[in-house]
Amino acid sequence: MLGKIGGGFSIAMKTLDGGRIGIAAQALGIAQGAMDETVRYTKERKQFGKSIAAFQNTQFQMADLQTKIEASRLLVRSAAFKKDSGQNYSTDAAMAKLYAAETAMEVTTKAVQFHGGYGYTREYPVERMMRDAKITEIYEGTSEVQRMVIAAKLFR
């Protein structure tokens, strides 16, 4: 037997909480990788005589995405710190997973868009990153489940 009688649900939830931090970190890595690849590509790709990185619209979109990546990084670090220091981290893990996974999906989708037709080919890694990002919204509890965990803490 593992744990006390009737304590299985609590053990399972603690396991999921820890896993959610790992999934959030995975999503963060995917998002940052897609950002790095897209920065590189937009510097090289020329349109109308200049790199597409020189266009203000590109810069604004990329700035917004990088801001979300950094916010994800802070949520992941905060949840990991709370776990490592023995604090209650269940809600923090849910927030980190929710935000990082949805950010990864947004960043990778935009990365594919910035790459144009190439973004959908296996010649560039962003198509795989987009598929990898999607699973982070699903396993260890979907985004909807994370919202339920967060809301339960708010309204208890």
The residues annotated as belonging to the active site are 140
Taking each helix axis from N to C end, the angle separating 90-114 and 8-44, rounded to the nearest 10 degrees, works out to 30
Neighbours of 154 (CB within 10 A): 7
CB-CB contact of 38 with 114 (8 Å): yes
The DSSP code sequence of 81-144 is: HHHHTT---HHHHHHHHHHHHHHHHHHHHHHHHHTGGGGGSTTSTHHHHHHHHHHHTTTTS-HH
Measure Cα distances from 120 to 49, 110, 113, 134, 148 in Å: 24, 12, 9, 15, 34
